[in-house]
């Protein structure tokens, strides 16, 4: 089976060569490597030129991460597509192990492998912050709905499934939750497989999008609302209605508390009220949802000063 590796990059000159090297070093598989340059304005095109005999480069105006990955999916010639972010790297036999795992589990459409968090400067490794990813296998839609523990650079998916589901949601323009959204849609209709051996090194650095709290929370809410739109009955059956809705309620409370800490009182209050509506009923949320704006603003200023 041929694997198409899709590497989206935007101004990733500092890291992209290492990612490509790790893809080209994969053993025991037939591979097509596609790098989608999403309108880079740094040295990325020059870095890619060094690999011109070994990779396919698609350049496009900046359209965002979802669109870049989807362009790679559409150009894929392999029966399987593996995703690699431009700042991560793979261990040498990662793809071969995943191909074997999917052969052994024909009922699965997606496989991921163990990821470690990696400091390229020191070489130090630690558990991936969203572990334990090994729990996400088999029929795991409800579990994945409760929390995402799958690193995008660890994932391989059958190409037919990616095209059938429409790939990544291009409404999610920021580099946040487009991977989570796709994993949920896959898990709602198919089983997942997992490879125990370490396959991916997730690079730790200050620019990781997961550190940008506001946009992560906003886009998580979008993804969870979307999952409820197609999976509500199943989630209520497997988790119970209260627990299914509490996932969304807790996200609204976190977003409200973020706005509260920034002094954005109207936004905070709207989020607290939404959180209450979906079932976050603790006394603090009730107080924040109904406290007059003047008193909530006063409390927020005291919170900021502390």
What local confidence, expressed as pLDDT, does residue 305 receive?
Answer: 60
What local confidence, expressed as pLDDT, does residue 73 receive?
Answer: 98
* Domain 2-205: assigned CATH number: 3.90.550.10
Q: In the chain, what are the domain boundaries?
A: 2-205, 213-305
d(CA 48, CA 16): 8
Bridge partner residues of 37 (DSSP): 9, 59
With the CA atoms of 272, 129, 154 and 85 taken in that order, what torsion angle do they form, in degrees rounded to the nearest 10? 80
Query: Tens place of pLDDT for every residue, the chain, 306 residues?
Result: 899 999 999 999 999 999 999 999 999 999 999 999 999 999 999 999 999 999 999 999 999 999 999 999 999 999 999 999 999 999 999 999 999 999 999 999 999 999 988 776 666 766 766 657 788 999 999 999 999 999 999 999 999 999 999 999 999 999 999 999 999 999 999 999 999 999 999 887 665 554 588 999 999 999 999 999 999 999 999 999 999 999 999 999 999 989 988 888 889 989 999 999 999 888 777 777 776 776 666 666 665 665
What local confidence, expressed as pLDDT, does residue 200 receive?
Answer: 94
d(CA 135, CA 138): 9
Integer angstrom CA distances of residue 6 from 81, 92, 115, 211: 7, 17, 18, 24
Residue 174: strand, helix, or coil: coil
Integer angstrom CA distances of residue 239 from 145, 174, 278: 10, 30, 15
What local confidence, expressed as pLDDT, does residue 94 receive?
Answer: 98
CB neighbours of 120 closer than 8 A, spacing ≥ 6? 18, 203, 204, 205
């Amino acid at each position: 089976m041929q694997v198409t590796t899709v590497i989206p990059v935007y101004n990733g000159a500092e890291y992209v060569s290492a990612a490509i090297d790790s893809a080209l070093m994969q053993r025991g598989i037939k591979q097509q490597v596609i790098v989608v340059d999403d309108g880079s304005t740094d040295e990325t095109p020059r870095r890619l030129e060094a690999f011109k005999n070994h990779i396919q480069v698609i350049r496009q105006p900046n359209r965002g991460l979802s669109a870049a990955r989807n362009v790679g999916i559409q150009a894929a010639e392999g029966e399987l597509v593996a995703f690699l972010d431009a700042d991560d790297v793979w261990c040498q036999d990662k793809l071969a192990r995943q191909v074997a795992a999917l052969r052994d589990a024909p009922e699965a459409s997606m496989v991921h492998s163990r990821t470690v968090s990696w400091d390229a400067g020191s070489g130090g490794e630690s558990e991936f912050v969203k572990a334990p990813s090994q729990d996400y296998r088999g029929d795991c839609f409800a579990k994945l709905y409760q929390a995402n523990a799958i690193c995008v650079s660890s994932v391989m998916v059958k190409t037919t499934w990616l095209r059938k589901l429409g790939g990544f949601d291009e409404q999610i323009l920021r580099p946040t939750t487009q991977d989570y959204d796709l994993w949920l849609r896959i898990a709602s209709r198919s089983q997942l497989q997992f490879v125990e051996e370490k396959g991916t090194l997730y690079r730790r650095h200050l620019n990781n999008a997961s550190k940008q709290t506001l946009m992560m929370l906003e886009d998580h809410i979008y993804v969870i609302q979307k999952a409820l739109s197609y999976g509500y009955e199943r989630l209520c059956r497997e988790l119970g209605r209260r627990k299914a809705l509490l996932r969304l309620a807790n996200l609204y409370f976190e977003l409200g508390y973020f706005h509260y800490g920034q002094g954005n009182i109207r936004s905070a209050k709207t989020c607290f009220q939404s959180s209450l509506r979906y079932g976050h009923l603790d006394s603090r949320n009730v107080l924040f949802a109904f406290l007059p704006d003047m008193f909530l603003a006063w409390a927020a200023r005291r919170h900021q000063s502390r």
